[in-house]
Structure 1
Amino acid sequence: MAQPRREQEPLREIERELMLISRHSLAAQPVGFSRVLDRSAYHLLSRMQVQGPMSIGQLAEAFGLDTSTVNRQTSAMLRAHLVERIADPEGGIARKLRITALGAEQLAADRAGALDALGRVLADWQPRELAELRETLERFNTSVERHEGRPWPRARD
């Protein structure tokens, strides 16, 4: 049953802001900085960095993608020496992909650039406001993950 228009208005505003976040996050880069990794490599490497070596099937399940899509993406990463195939450390049959030193270096460079850009955008925010934003974004993301049945592991420094 559809919600009355008045009750939908906050959802419309949230949808618009989320659309703008995706637009801004792709454009927010420090002057003179260009990303080394494409978007899919950045996401896949980020997941492996937190979770450790993963098979193509595990990556496909984690992202809700078809294995052929993940296979194409990881093949490009293998050719670029960002990941390497290894035997399953847990003794399974499927080979897993592990981040190489080059992959970790390029991921760190892109993350540093993203953090620099984010720091410039949020430079005039108070620590309390930053904490509130982090908490709200994490709550939103964990709600999405719960709804999709695909939680993202979070590493706390």
Structure 2
Amino acid sequence: MEREPAGGAPGVTEGASAAIAAIERELTLISRYTVMVTNRSAANQRLERSAYLLLSRIEAEGPMSIGQLSEAFGLDASTINRQTAAMLRAGLVGRIPDPDGGLARKLRITEAGLARLHADRDWAVNGVGRVLADWDPADVATLAHLLVQYNITIERRQGRLWPRPASAQPQTS
């Protein structure tokens, strides 16, 4: 049974409300498909999602403290501690003194962690590439642009921008 989209968002017209409901549904399906595609098998171990995200952030920004990671992700320090402890045990990150002379030790990616991160990213990029192989390159570029724009809008509202290369920034005309 199809429900009418929930309204009430300021400035959202009825037509836009239906489009927003469709976007929400498709984002839900994207997350479902991502989980299905990234299931680990015994023969092909993948990083846990939290490790992938934490390693990606450390790769983008350089060594980070627990407090910096907690702020970047909007999570309690205890949650970040638990996640990074597993990464330390697995040899994906190591603790180093703060290169800037601060008191808090920082986490840096080990060579093994970087290799795992890059292998998982290559695997994911190849999977997305297979899905989009028959798409027009202009449509792929448009989808990439709109997804970046969508995520940056969320990040700005939360006050937590994710570092991106300049090439990934949405172009303004």
Q: Does TM, normalized by the shorter one, top 0.5?
A: yes
The AA in structure 2 aligned to 1:17 is: E
Q: TM-score, normalising length from structure 2?
A: 0.84
Q: TM-score, normalising length from structure 1?
A: 0.92
Identify if the C-alpha distance between structure 1 residues 121 and 103 changes in structure 2 by more than 3 Å, giving closer, same or farther. Answer: same
Q: Which has the higher contact order (CA 8 A, sep 6+)?
A: 1
Give the aligned partner of residue 61 of structure 2. 51
Matches within 5 A, 1:120-135: 120-135=130-145
- 1:29–1:113 CA contact under 8 A, matched in 2: no
Unaligned runs of 5+ in 2: 1-6, 168-173
Partners of 2:83 and 2:38 lie apart in 1 by 23
4+ residue runs over 6 A deviation: none
Give CA-to-partner distance per residue, 1:43-71, whole Å, 9 cap, x none: 00000001000000100110010000000
Identify if the C-alpha distance between structure 1 residues 69 and 115 changes in structure 2 by more than 3 Å, giving closer, same or farther. Answer: same
The AA in structure 1 aligned to 2:116 is: Q
Partners of 1:95 and 1:51 lie apart in 2 by 15
Give the aligned partner of residue 120 of structure 2. 110
Identify if the C-alpha distance between structure 1 residues 81 and 152 changes in structure 2 by more than 3 Å, giving closer, same or farther. Answer: same
Unaligned runs of 5+ in 1: none
Give the aligned partner of residue 18 of structure 1. 27
State the 1:156 CA deviation: 4.8
Partners of 1:63 and 1:98 lie apart in 2 by 17
The AA in structure 2 aligned to 1:130 is: V
- 1:29–1:117 CA contact under 8 A, matched in 2: no
What's the secondary structure of 1:98's corresponding residue? strand
Aligned length: 156
Q: Which moved more, 1:82-91 or 1:10-19?
A: 10-19
When the two chains are superposed, the root-mean-square deviation of aligned CA atoms in Å is: 2.0
